[in-house]
Chains A and B, each alone.
Chain A
Amino acid sequence: MADAATIVGIERAEQFATVEQQREAATLGMWCWLLTELLLFAGLFLCALILRLQHPASVTLATKHLKFWIGATNTVVLICSSLTMSTAIVASRLGWRRLMLRAMLTTAALGTLFLCFKAYEYATDYAEHMVPFIARPYALAADQPTRLFVDIYYITTGLHAVHLITGIAILLVLTWQASRPRFLERHQNRIEIYGLYWHFIDLIWIIVFPVLYVLNR
């Protein structure tokens, strides 16, 4: 790599005594935020699981209408994006700026690909009359408990998509910042901390997928 000699480090903010303290504080801060985010989704997961226990037949019926292969493909897409994000982190530690920027852009592209698949899935759901909350006949109207499950499906995947859209937006801004000279010298840990968030979005999907799509199929 041509720019392997880049200095990598963190600029100390005045409230911290040492750079090490600052680095640890930032990482812990992100972990706390992720814990909060996990609890945000936890209620939805719990609802879906309890619904499965209370109305197993209805939920299985609703699950069969979800597009397993789109969900599975999206799982692979997100895992790949986590790999490229990890590449960006390793490259940032080594000071390989160009590889880092390319890996970050690839990550954003994979995230966008996920959203495209997701949008396609919503479109097929609409075509199959699987949207109970709009003024249009609902395919499983005879089976009332399916409705709550399908509503939870939309809210959970929608909330995940909102996280992904936010994540991609932040990632693009970060890529722009990181493309400027002296970024790695002063703010290398921003890449690491952002990486935690990206892996978290991936992790949430890895819980969403079995809870909504796979169980009792």
Chain B
Amino acid sequence: MSPSDVALLRDPGTPRATLDRPADYLHAEHTLRSWFLTTDHKRIALLYLASITGFFILGAIAAGLIRLALIVPNGQIFSNDTYNKIFTMHGVIMVWFFLIPSIPATFGNFLIPLMIGARDLAFPRLNLLSWYLFMAGALFTMLDLIIGGVDTGWTFYAPFSTTYSNSYVIPALIGVIIVGFSSILTGLNFIVTIHKMRAPGMGWFRMPIFVWTLYATSLIFLLGTPVITMALILLIMERAFHIGVFDPKLGGDPILFEHLFWFYSHPAVYIMVLPGMGVITELVAAFSQKSVFGYRFVAYASIGLASITFLVWGHHMFVNGQSQLASTVFSFLSFAVAVPSAVKVYNWTATIHKGSIRLDTPMLYAMGYIGLFVLGGLTGLFLATLAVDAHLHDTYFVVAHFHYIMVGGTMLAFLGGLHYWWPKFTGRLYPEAWGRVGAFLIFVGFNVTFFPQFILGYLGMPRRYHEYPPEFQILNIMSSAGSTILALGYFFPMSYLVWSLWFGKRAPNNPWNAKGLEWTTTSPPPAHNFDRTPIVDFEPYDYAIKAREVG
């Protein structure tokens, strides 16, 4: 028995010391320096993936504490202050440190150059700077949590945040401002890359929909983020130097903050949603082995959503002293958002129709996404209706609505995409059976957690309170019970994906038989993505089954 056979017997999963192929980006260099000072977009994507996973765990722990507090109606588990700090922590971390960077900064970074046939993003060093800014902002916010936390809610409404709150508001604001610059630079990098770095033959209408949606997202990064940066700077000015802008006592106007805040934060919803839509389009086409139905419409709908979303911020302020005329206009425009969203949903279902469907884990997530997104989207229309919103505003109905979009939508898209591109990222396959169990648990856990909240909100339970009438207890217990199933569900991919890094089967270059340039290179790709610059002479989603787009 030779020594190498002994090694095989002891640990069949350990790869041989010598590689049978040229070194890929993961193995090109091994030092810590080669990771933390890398300019390779693929490595930066993995840095982001590791950091946002950490923040997701923190945010999820906060969510668990919220659900724990709500098991009893009398609010005895935490003090009021602590409860306020916990839900603020949950919101701030999940919105700014998980959802907004999730798909753009990880998948976008990794895949945009691969999908358009470029060697890297246009500005690789700027890309690294974005990650460092992101971590610097995170550091401020984490420091804030350690020294005592912040209790304003993730929306930082003035004048509470500027005058009355006794918590550490300023470090949190600085953290969010810095993270904003990270998003701006990422968006700038993506826009320039998509405009200028496409491989020969890669016209605008040959780009995958994922790239289109990230282009739309980047536009929002560029146009929306500076406005909230300004709003938060004004908050700091007022809190620290009493330069009154929002507090009426100092000559300011509190509604002004809400306008400035939602001018960014409503489009921010689409920063979170659009990339998820891009991922779902890729998944649906690959697992139906069919070209995307109405490719151009889906592409235009992405840009359409990114445009209309800048005109609907007032629907957060229907009951906050905005004029009735403004409310009517904002209500109408909010209904208009449903049109491009529906275009996407119908096109996904039409793509699946008569495809050659495989229900692997990514497709399970995609199916879950479509259903939950429809539910989340339709309940959004309830909230866009002026009279109904007067009843539902600031209740658990709103909480349930946006969790159906953010978790049922974006989170499922993130997990679906993670499974779909995992072989490309790591060169390893994840265990399919475990993947399906995890997807199933997450879907069930999510619905048990959040569906009761629609009913709670309709019955009148306000958000952000931990004391409630005893008759709401049964629904709250259902919701908290669901959150444990959801947590168990998340535990599955976290464990088996890490396991697969060492013990997963080696992935072929194109395990899903999918189309697109990223599948033409090796898994994982070499440091420079392609051995030769690809020349694109094929249409996007060039699958054997074609969508029939006429009647």
A21 touches B196 (CB 8 A): yes
B230–A147 CB distance below 8 A: no
Q: Which of these, A39, A47, A145, contacts B226 with CB under 8 Å?
A: A39
How far is A190 from B232 in the complex, measured between Cα atoms in Å?
Answer: 32
Please determine whether A43 and B196 come into contact, CB atoms closer than 8 angstroms.
no
**A15, CB-defined interface residue at 8 Å:** yes
- What's the nearest-Cβ distance from chain B to residue A214, in Å? 23
How far, in angstroms, from A15 to B245 measured CA to CA in the complex?
46
From residue A9, how far is it (CB to closest CB) to chain B in Å? Answer: 19
- Report which of B226, B229, B251 forms a contact with A148, defined as CB distance below 8 A: B251
User: Does A17 contact B533, Cβ atoms closer than 8 Å?
Assistant: yes
A177 to B242, CA, bound (A): 41
Tell whether A179 is near chain B: CB-to-CB under 8 Å.
no
Q: Which B217-258 residues sit within 8 Å CB-CB of chain A?
A: 222-227, 229-231, 233-234, 237, 241-245, 250-253, 256
A151 contacts B192, C-beta separation under 8 Å: no
A15 in complex: contacting residue of B122, B227, B256, CB < 8 Å: B122
Say whether chain B's binding surface is mostly helix, strand, loop, or mixed.
Answer: helix
B227 A43 Cβ-Cβ under 8 A: yes
Instruction: Please count the residue pairs between chain A and chain B whose beta carbons lie under 8 angstroms apart in the complex.
Output: 96
Q: Are the CB atoms of B188 and A36 closer together than 8 Å?
A: yes
- The stretch from A27-35, A76-84, A107-115, A205-213 touching chain B is A27-35
Complex Cα–Cα for A132 and B263 (A) = 28
**Stretch of B113-121, B342-350, B418-426, B508-516 contacting A (4+ beta carbons < 8 Å):** B113-121
Q: Are A43 and B260 in contact (CB under 8 A)?
A: yes
The answer to whether B225 touches A36, judged by C-beta atoms less than 8 angstroms apart, is yes
Closest to B39 in A: A15
What's the Cα separation between A33 and B221 when bound, in Å?
A: 11
**Least CB separation from A42: chain B residue:** B227
Q: Whole-angstrom distance between the alpha carbons of A144 and B253 in the complex?
A: 12
Q: How far apart sit A151 and B225, CA to CA, in the bound complex (Å)?
A: 23
Q: Mark A4-36, 1 if CB is under 8 A from B, else 0.
A: 000000000011110001001100110011011
List of A residues within 8 angstroms of B456 by Cβ: none
B237 closest partner in A (C-beta): A155
Chain B residues with Cβ under 8 A from A47's Cβ? 245, 256
**A49 at interface (Cβ–Cβ under 8 A)?**
no
Q: Which residues of B contact A43 (CB under 8 A)?
A: 227, 230-231, 260, 263
Contacts of B252 in A (CB 8 A): 148, 151
How many Å lie between the Cα of A41 and that of B242 in the bound state? 20
B196 touches A24 (CB 8 A): yes
The answer for the CA separation of A29 and B234 in the assembled complex, in Å, is 27
* Contact call B222/A32, Cβ cutoff below 8 A: yes
The residue that B229 contacts in the complex, of A29, A40, A145, A151, with Cβ under 8 A, is A40
Interface: B197 (CB within 8 A): yes
Residue of A whose beta carbon sits closest to that of B242:
A133
From B121, B193, B251, residue with most partner A Cβ within 10 Å: B251
Q: Is the interface of A mostly helix, strand, loop or mixed?
A: helix
| A contact residues around B191 at 8 Å (CB) | 28, 32
Is there a chain A Cβ closer than 8 Å to B123's Cβ?
Answer: yes
Nearest A-chain residue to B528, judged by Cβ: A14
Known: A29-B122, A29-B123, A29-B188. A40 touches B256 (CB 8 A): no
Partner of A144, one of B119, B223, B225, B251: B251
Beta-carbon contact of B234 and A39 below 8 Å: no
- A109-143 interface with B by 8 A CB criterion: 132-133
Chain B: CB-nearest residue to A40: B226
Please, which residues of chain B bring their CB within 8 A of the CB of A155?
A: 233-234, 237, 243, 245
CA distance A47 to B245 in the complex (A): 10
A133 and B260 in contact, given A21-B196, A40-B227, A148-B253 (Cβ under 8 angstroms): no
Q: Among B119, B192, B250, point to the contact of A25 (Cβ < 8 A).
A: B192
B195: CB under 8 A from chain A? yes
Contact in complex: B244, A37 (CB < 8 Å): no
Q: Which B residues are CB-close (under 8 A) to A154?
A: 243
Cβ contacts B174-210/A at 8 Å (1 or 0 each): 0000000000100111011101110000000000000
How far does the Cβ of B216 sit from chain A's closest Cβ, in whole Å? Answer: 14
With a cutoff of 8 Å between Cβ atoms, the chain A residues found around residue B195 in the complex are 25, 28
Contact (Cβ within 8 A) A25 B227: no
Closest residue to A20 on the B side, CB-wise? Answer: B196
**Is A44's beta carbon under 8 Å from chain B?**
yes
Using Cβ atoms and an 8 Å threshold, which residues of chain B touch A41? Answer: 230
- B250: contacting residue among A36, A133, A159, CB under 8 A: A133
Contact A33 B188 (CB under 8 A): yes
Q: Given known contacts A43-B230, A132-B244, is B222 in contact with A35 (CB within 8 Å)?
A: yes
Highest count of chain A CB atoms <10 Å: which of B191, B230, B253: B230
In the complex, what distance in Å separates the CA atom of A15 from the CA atom of B251?
A: 52
Answer whether residue A161 sits at the interface, using C-beta atoms and an 8 A cutoff.
Answer: no
Kindly identify which residue among B121, B123, B243 contacts A151, using a CB–CB cutoff of 8 Å: B243
A144 and B252 CA atoms in complex are apart in Å by 9
**Does B124 make an interface contact (CB < 8 A)?**
yes
Q: Is A99 located at the chain interface by the 8 A CB criterion?
A: no
A152 at interface by CB-CB < 8 Å: yes
Smallest CB–CB gap between B473 and chain A, Å?
44
Cα separation A146 to B123 with both chains bound (whole Å)? 45
- CA–CA, A21 and B118, complex, Å: 12
Q: How far is the CB of A192 from chain B (nearest CB, A)?
A: 16
Min CB distance B210 to A, Å, is: 21
Residue numbers in A under 8 Å from B192 (CB-CB): 25, 28-29, 32
| Complex interface: chain B residues within 8 A of A15 (CB) | 118-122, 124, 197
Establish whether residues B222 and A25, one from each chain, have CB atoms under 8 Å apart when the complex forms. Answer: no
Residues of A within 8 A of B230 (CB): 40-41, 43-44
CA distance A154 to B233 in the complex (A): 13
CB–CB A28/B251 < 8 A: no
In contact, A36 and B226 (Cβ under 8 angstroms):
yes
Q: Are A37 and B245 within 8 A (Cβ)?
A: no
- Asked if B119 and A14 sit within 8 Å, CB to CB, the answer is yes
Q: Please give me the residue from chain B that is nearest to A13 by CB atom.
A: B124
The chain B residue sitting closest to A154, CB to CB, is B243
CB distance from A19 to the nearest CB of B (A): 12
Q: How far is the CA of A21 from the CA of B252 in the complex (A)?
A: 48
Partner of A132, one of B119, B120, B184, B251: B251
Question: Is the CB–CB distance between A151 and B245 below 8 Å?
Answer: yes
Q: Known: A17-B533, A35-B223, A39-B226. Contact between A151 and B244, CB under 8 A?
A: yes
Give 8 A-B contacts (CB < 8 Å), ordered by A residue: A15-B121, A25-B123, A25-B192, A28-B196, A151-B245, A155-B233, A155-B234, A159-B233
Known: A36-B225, A132-B244. 9 other contacts (CB 8 A): A15-B119, A32-B188, A32-B192, A43-B260, A133-B242, A145-B251, A148-B252, A151-B245, A154-B243
Measured CB to CB, the residues of A under 8 A from B are 14-17, 21, 24-25, 28-29, 32-33, 35-37, 39-44, 47, 132-133, 144-148, 151-152, 154-155, 159
